[in-house]
Amino acid sequence: MTKITWLGHASWLIETDNHKILLDPFLTDNPSATKQVDDFQDCTHLLISHGHFDHIADAPAIVSQSDATVIGIFEITQWFSEKHGATKTVGMNIGGEVHLPFGSVKMTPALHSNSLPDGSPSGLAAGFLLTIQDQRIYFACDTAFFGDMAYYASSVDVAVLPIGDLFTMGIQDSVDAIKFIKPKKVLPTHYNTWPPIEVDPDLWAQRVREDTAAEPVVLSVNESIQLS
Binding site for Ni ion (CB under 5 A): 52, 142
User: Which residue, among 69, 37, 70, has the nearest Cα to 51 in the 3D structure?
Assistant: 70
Residues 11, 55: Cα–Cα separation, whole Å = 7
Give the nearest distance from C-beta 142 to Mn ion in angstroms.
Answer: 4
Residues 129, 63: Cα–Cα separation, whole Å = 22
13, 32, 118, 126, 186 from 140: Cα distances, Å: 15, 20, 25, 8, 11
| Closer residue to Ni ion, CB minimum distance, 51 or 183 | 51
Give the nearest distance from C-beta 55 to Mn ion in angstroms.
Answer: 6
**By CB under 5 A, residue 142 contacts Mn ion:** yes
Which region, judged by CB under 5 A, interacts with Mn ion, from 51-59, 121-129, 180-188, 200-208? 51-59
**By CB under 5 A, residue 24 contacts Mn ion:** no
Give the nearest distance from C-beta 60 to Ni ion in angstroms.
Answer: 17
Residue 24's binding partner out of Ni ion, Mn ion, none, with CB under 5 to 8 Å set by partner kind: none
User: Which residue, among 164, 168, 166, 124, has the nearest Cα to 144 in the 3D structure?
Assistant: 168
Give the nearest distance from C-beta 197 to Ni ion in angstroms.
Answer: 11
Nearest residue to Ni ion, scored by beta-carbon proximity: 52
Residues 61, 113: Cα–Cα separation, whole Å = 24
Positions that interact with Mn ion (CB under 5 A)? 54, 142
